[in-house]
Amino acid sequence: MDYLCSECSIGLSKFEIKLNKLYPIGKLYCEFCQSKHEREIITKIAEIEADMHNDYTRDLLGGKNETN
């Protein structure tokens, strides 16, 4: 089965396919394109974690305010 990079359509090596499994973002990238998108991916993950943290904090604060 051939895996092609979504951006430059180059064939992916086994190592590159493994990289894509480590960073599942719904698209396949070769090592070169992957590194270009790495910042994007990290930003996305940071945003998701920040959202989760905000929800958790809001729940805690909300609960406290209601009991007061």
Amino acid (one-letter) located at 49: E
7 binding Zn ion? (CB under 5 A): yes
Q: Binding segment for Zn ion among 1-9, 17-25, 48-56, 57-65 (CB under 5 A)?
A: 1-9
Bridge partners (DSSP) of residue 11 are 4
CB of 28 to Zn ion, least distance (A): 9
8 binding Zn ion? (CB under 5 A): yes
Q: Binding segment for Zn ion among 8-16, 20-28, 38-46, 49-57 (CB under 5 A)?
A: 8-16
Q: Show the 3-state SS of 31-60.
A: HHHHHHHHHHHHHHHHHHHHHHHHHHHHHH
